[in-house]
Amino acid sequence: MDFELVLLTRESHGRWQCANSTPFPFGAYDVITVGLQKLIDANNDDIVIHGDTVAYGTGIYQADFLVVQVLSHKLRVVLDAVEKGREYPPESEGPNQWVEQQSVFKTIAATEKEPGSITEIMTLNVAGKKVTLERDFVWEKDSGRYKPTFWSRPGS
């Protein structure tokens, strides 16, 4: 039922060995998509994961967007942001208290001179009232992670 990302390395005598792995314990709850993109460096692929379910249960659900970098034979999460989320509190707390979030992540590949960029466009629906916001994620070489900018309204 679980999903696990496994990093294999090939030894000098041709044998494969597991170098590192990262578990995704709720991988069977929703569809996880995994792909490769050159986001940080034009010469290396990074692992981009959509739909990593991190919480689900009565009235709650959250799936994340991840960017994983392979560094020194280790898998390292350099971006983790909510991609989908829902919260439906019990009716006893009052009607129309639900919250839904859906984000789309647009990526631009790295060039020879600059790292790529990621833009999140989020639609937030609170009890039937929608708002759309966006923010960018900027690669910070010193910390080795993507850092978010402030939220803004698209086109403002």
* pLDDT (tens digit per residue) in 100-124: 999 999 999 999 999 999 999 999 9
Q: What is the mean pLDDT of residues 55-66?
A: 89
Q: Report residue 19's pLDDT band, with 50, 70 and 90 as the boundaries.
A: confident
Q: Is residue 74 pLDDT above 60, yes or no?
A: yes
Q: Is residue 3 pLDDT above 90, yes or no?
A: no
Q: From 80, 43, 82, 34, select the one nearest 60 (Cα to Cα).
A: 82
Q: What is the mean pLDDT of residues 71-93?
A: 86
Q: Tell me whether residue 100 is in a domain.
A: yes
Q: Tell me whether residue 35 is in a domain.
A: yes
Q: What is the pLDDT of residue 123?
A: 97
Q: Tell me whether residue 155 is in a domain.
A: no
Distance (Å, rounded) from C-alpha 132 to C-alpha 6? 36
How many independent structural domains does the chain possess? 1
Reported pTM: 0.86
Q: Tell me whether residue 60 is in a domain.
A: yes
Q: Is residue 99 within 8 Å of 24, Cβ to Cβ?
A: no
Q: Tell me whether residue 82 is in a domain.
A: yes
135 burial level (CB within 10 Å; 0-12, 13-18, 19+): middle
Q: What is the pLDDT of residue 6?
A: 83
Q: Tell me whether residue 105 is in a domain.
A: yes
Could you tell me the residue range of the domain that residue 114 belongs to? Answer: 3-10+18-148
Distance (Å, rounded) from C-alpha 122 to C-alpha 133? 5
